[in-house]
Amino acid sequence: MKSLLIVDDEPKICSLLSHFFEAHGFRTRTAHSGAEAIQTLHAEVPDYLLLDIRMPGMSGLDVLRLAKKEYPHLRVVMVTALDNVEMAEQALTLGASHYVTKPFSFQDRHWARAFFDERRDPITEELDPTAIEDVRPRDSVAAATHANMRMRLGELLITKGLITPSQLEEGLRQQAQSGEYLGAALVRLGFLTETQLVETLAEQLKIPSVRLATYEIEPEALEKVTPKVASHYHLMPLALREGVLHVAIADPFDVQTLDELKLLLDCDVQPVLASQSEITDAIQRHYGVGASAVERLLDTAGAPSATPAPTRTEDLSAPGDDASVIAFVNQLISSAVKDRATDIHIEPFEGSVRIRQRIDGVLYELPLPPDLVKLQAAIVSRIKVMAALDIAEKRLPQDGRLKVRLAGQELDLRLSVLPTSFGETVALRILSAQMLLSLEHLGLAASHLGLLRQLLSQPHGIIFVTGPTGSGKTTTLYACLHQLNRPGVKILTIEDPVEYQLTGITQLQIHPKIGFSFAQGLRSMLRHDPDIMMVGEVRDPETAEITIRSALTGHLVFSTLHTNDAAGGVTRLLDMGIEPYLVASSVLGFIAQRLVRLNCPACTREVPTTPEIRSQLTLAPTEPLPPTVRQGQGCAACKGTGYKGRTAIYEFLAMSPSLQPLLLRRASAQELAACAQQTGGLRTLRQDGWLKVCRGLTTPAEVLRVT
Ligand SMILES: [Zn+2]
């Protein structure tokens, strides 16, 4: 049996360490000062000496010097605070063999290296010797308890009918491979929801559980735990009652975290169960996005100055624990992607900074750590470096793009920086990493899908998609091109920006600064004799004229117009000076569209229909009103908004012979729409939205918001 002398002036730490090493087969003694350590050493020389560096009176370094002089073969491991690593390095030169840092985790591989190298069990013996770094000390008692718990958790889940025996088997197999806890494995495999897991664990272990989305966190509890500690241990403080801190944790088997926390905070800790994702959200909400990075930064550096060299692709999944502004920016982008945000806005004001992200078309303010304003300039610089922009230029607008890697996936971001009186404001647009390119995924009603397929089968002509910015026009156009993309067909596009790379299609990006405009690009494209073309947008008479001419000379052309409804597309073209007969002979159809948010499936409920809906949505008097419609109530899954994800609503105006005479006499958009409604059954955006309301997908309010 190996013997160990533990020296620390803090009795609690001594007893915790002693407990740990006894459980791992060491014989331990403790000393609470340098002098006492020397005395104990003289009485009996242990195999190992575990030595705290910072002690009043005789320091750990003093003890080390004396001990090494008298017992050169004694193995000494130093314990030091994170901010005192320099001293520990010095100890290594004085003969210490290892050091570990406080606050420590017993799962830390440094422990394995310092103490357990020689204690290989038969399994690790067979492994590559370099793998010893990954061997963690195992507490046999705790392991037995876990095995027992695991059995009972599995049985309980089966008894409650939440999982099947074969799912349990699969979970146990996965768990053995990944080393995670059984519950986490079952959730990851999709056999169980996080809420079901938390409820079952709470029942089995007799620990209370909490829904963090609705829990009122006590400010005293929040003050007690720094952002660094909360994010390191992944816990959320809840309340401080008679000196006992109640904390929400996701993993009730992690007793070591609780032990360490008690020492660290110097108070008793009462665990309460909550789901992993609710804890993540709560940490963000109460401490602010990237709070631990900001805390570390202001702790160590004061203010960051040096800017790292630019790299081509930033890997955000790499450990983001650096005490640097990089960690903050990485957390900002990862959190936006996790929340399905499409853009991030960093806006400076006098003495403060605001960061907002757009989710499903609506801007939400992010909770931020209060000290963030001190880092605002450094954050903007960091983002500019990532996009290889000139960081010294702070008076002129700059645009750029950057690539980041997140969980193995590469993301494209477009960056725009504008100078304001309080510093630079940044807009970051996250271009879709993947796009569902099939027509079936566009959310088209069956009749509209049939109509679109018919338009796409035409050999030439123009199809215009209309709507304001952010109405999903690009997705529709890409899906059309994807549908038509075949080896025998040449497709060229000219876009601003190229949002998504389509395999097999040549895509050009306009550069107005060097004279490469839509019109110029179109003229050049025609010389390449494509079968199908896409023009990002028709916004000037010249582009309109060339687009029409291309359609009349045998090309199928797709483009967009900024108009509110489908019939408005006609008047827009006439306003640009296009002759009515040219519109009538070239355009196949106008498709107006908007994006509506979908009801959150987790919290959608039936709510009574109000009679005003009929007039608000201009429904036909014959349209029957259902007694209820569905509406999301707001929950953790949708951040309390009641909506999650989006789909599109459409209005199709196909050119037909009955519209020709109206067009030729320059009839108004209203007249055209009325005629199309009577003869072709045109359905307005609101009417199409109402169909989606009736199917329970969205709400009347949402349809009214976008139309
Ligand atoms: Zn919800």
Average pLDDT, the chain: 83
The CA 265 to ligand 1 mean position distance, Å, reads: 36
The CA 123 to ligand 1 mean position distance, Å, reads: 47
SS (H, E, C) 86-104: HHHHHHHHCCCCEEEEECC
Torsions phi, psi for 436 (to 5 deg): -85, 110
Count CA within 13 A, CB hemisphere, residue 185: 19
The CA 317 to ligand 1 mean position distance, Å, reads: 28
Q: How far apart are CA 147 and CA 152, in angstroms?
A: 9
> Is residue 312 predicted with pLDDT exceeding 80?
no
- Give the pLDDT score at 176: 78
Q: How far apart are CA 298 and CA 276, in angstroms?
A: 28
Picking from 104, 117, 110, the residue whose alpha carbon sits closest to that of residue 92 is 110
Q: How far apart are CA 48 and CA 165, in angstroms?
A: 47
- Give the pLDDT score at 238: 94
> Where does the pLDDT of residue 323 fall: very low under 50, low under 70, confident under 90, or very high at 90 and above?
very low
- Give the pLDDT score at 643: 94
Residue-wise pLDDT for 616-630, tens only, equals 888 877 888 899 999
The CA 604 to ligand 1 mean position distance, Å, reads: 7
The CA 599 to ligand 1 mean position distance, Å, reads: 8
- Give the pLDDT score at 262: 83
Q: Find residue 466's DSSP bridge partners.
A: 561, 592
Picking from 694, 450, 688, the residue whose alpha carbon sits closest to that of residue 565 is 688
Q: How far apart are CA 126 and CA 110, in angstroms?
A: 21
> Is residue 138 predicted with pLDDT exceeding 60?
no
The CA 569 to ligand 1 mean position distance, Å, reads: 37
Helix (H, G, I), strand (E, B) or coil at 326: helix
The CA 367 to ligand 1 mean position distance, Å, reads: 20
> Where does the pLDDT of residue 109 fall: very low under 50, low under 70, confident under 90, or very high at 90 and above?
low
Contact assessment for residue 508 and residue 493, using Cβ atoms and an 8 Å cutoff: yes
Q: How far apart are CA 583 and CA 587, in angstroms?
A: 6
> Where does the pLDDT of residue 119 fall: very low under 50, low under 70, confident under 90, or very high at 90 and above?
very low
The CA 19 to ligand 1 mean position distance, Å, reads: 46
> Where does the pLDDT of residue 305 fall: very low under 50, low under 70, confident under 90, or very high at 90 and above?
very low
The CA 187 to ligand 1 mean position distance, Å, reads: 19
| Between 133 and 404, the higher pLDDT residue | 404
- Give the pLDDT score at 433: 59
Rounded to the nearest 10 degrees, how much is the dihedral formed by the CA atoms of 440, 446, 448, 453?
Answer: 60
Q: What percent of the chain has pLDDT over 90?
A: 37
The CA 643 to ligand 1 mean position distance, Å, reads: 6
Count CA within 13 A, CB hemisphere, residue 666: 9
The CA 222 to ligand 1 mean position distance, Å, reads: 26
The CA 341 to ligand 1 mean position distance, Å, reads: 16
- Give the pLDDT score at 151: 56
The CA 253 to ligand 1 mean position distance, Å, reads: 30
Residue-wise pLDDT for 17-28, tens only, equals 887 787 777 899
End-to-end, the C-alpha distance of the chain in Å comes to 78
Residue-wise pLDDT for 643-663, tens only, equals 999 999 999 999 988 899 999
Joined together, the tokens standing for residue 192 give 């169980």
Cis, bond preceding 129 (omega within 30 deg of 0)? no
The CA 144 to ligand 1 mean position distance, Å, reads: 40
> Is residue 281 predicted with pLDDT exceeding 80?
yes
> Is residue 36 predicted with pLDDT exceeding 80?
yes
The CA 388 to ligand 1 mean position distance, Å, reads: 39
> Where does the pLDDT of residue 105 fall: very low under 50, low under 70, confident under 90, or very high at 90 and above?
low
H or E stretch covering 34: helix 34-43
| Between 85 and 123, the higher pLDDT residue | 85
Q: How far apart are CA 165 and CA 540, in angstroms?
A: 66
Lowest mean pLDDT among 378-387, 401-410, 495-504, 538-547: 401-410
The CA 699 to ligand 1 mean position distance, Å, reads: 14
Residue-wise pLDDT for 655-704, tens only, equals 988 899 999 999 999 999 999 988 878 899 999 999 999 999 999 999 99
- Give the pLDDT score at 320: 36
Lowest mean pLDDT among 301-305, 497-501, 553-557, 573-577: 301-305
Q: How far apart are CA 498 and CA 502, in angstroms?
A: 10
Dihedral of alpha carbons 449, 454, 457, 463, sign: negative
H or E stretch covering 677: helix 669-680
- Give the pLDDT score at 434: 66
The CA 206 to ligand 1 mean position distance, Å, reads: 28
- Give the pLDDT score at 347: 94
Joined together, the tokens standing for residue 633 give 């109530």
The CA 603 to ligand 1 mean position distance, Å, reads: 4
Residue-wise pLDDT for 228-266, tens only, equals 888 888 899 999 988 899 999 988 777 777 878 888 888
Q: What angle do CA 562, 568, 571 make, to 5 degrees?
A: 105
The CA 199 to ligand 1 mean position distance, Å, reads: 19
- Give the pLDDT score at 688: 94
The CA 645 to ligand 1 mean position distance, Å, reads: 11
Q: How far apart are CA 467 and CA 484, in angstroms?
A: 23
> Is residue 128 predicted with pLDDT exceeding 60?
no
Average pLDDT over every residue of 289-304: 62
Q: Show Cβ contacts of residue 121 under 8 Å, excluding neighbours closer than 6 positions.
A: none
The CA 644 to ligand 1 mean position distance, Å, reads: 7
The CA 428 to ligand 1 mean position distance, Å, reads: 27
> Where does the pLDDT of residue 498 fall: very low under 50, low under 70, confident under 90, or very high at 90 and above?
confident
Picking from 198, 244, 239, the residue whose alpha carbon sits closest to that of residue 216 is 239
Residue 157 has a CB neighbour count (10 Å cut-off) of 25
- Give the pLDDT score at 545: 94
The CA 600 to ligand 1 mean position distance, Å, reads: 4
Q: What does each C-alpha distance from 357 to 37, 332, 422, 598, 600 come to in angstroms? A: 57, 10, 20, 18, 19
> Where does the pLDDT of residue 139 fall: very low under 50, low under 70, confident under 90, or very high at 90 and above?
very low
> Is residue 95 predicted with pLDDT exceeding 90?
no
The CA 623 to ligand 1 mean position distance, Å, reads: 30
> Is residue 395 predicted with pLDDT exceeding 70?
yes
Range from 220-229, 274-283, 359-368, 581-590 that averages highest in pLDDT: 581-590
- Give the pLDDT score at 274: 92
Q: How far apart are CA 634 and CA 638, in angstroms?
A: 6
| Between 416 and 213, the higher pLDDT residue | 416
The CA 631 to ligand 1 mean position distance, Å, reads: 10
Q: What does each C-alpha distance from 674 to 183, 252, 585, 669 come to in angstroms? A: 59, 65, 21, 9
The CA 382 to ligand 1 mean position distance, Å, reads: 35
Torsions phi, psi for 48 (to 5 deg): -130, 150
The CA 535 to ligand 1 mean position distance, Å, reads: 38
Range from 336-340, 461-465, 505-509 that averages highest in pLDDT: 461-465
> Is residue 270 predicted with pLDDT exceeding 70?
yes
Residue-wise pLDDT for 44-67, tens only, equals 889 899 999 888 888 899 999 999
The CA 637 to ligand 1 mean position distance, Å, reads: 5
> Is residue 493 predicted with pLDDT exceeding 70?
yes
Joined together, the tokens standing for residue 651 give 């209005």
Lowest mean pLDDT among 26-35, 410-419, 425-434: 425-434
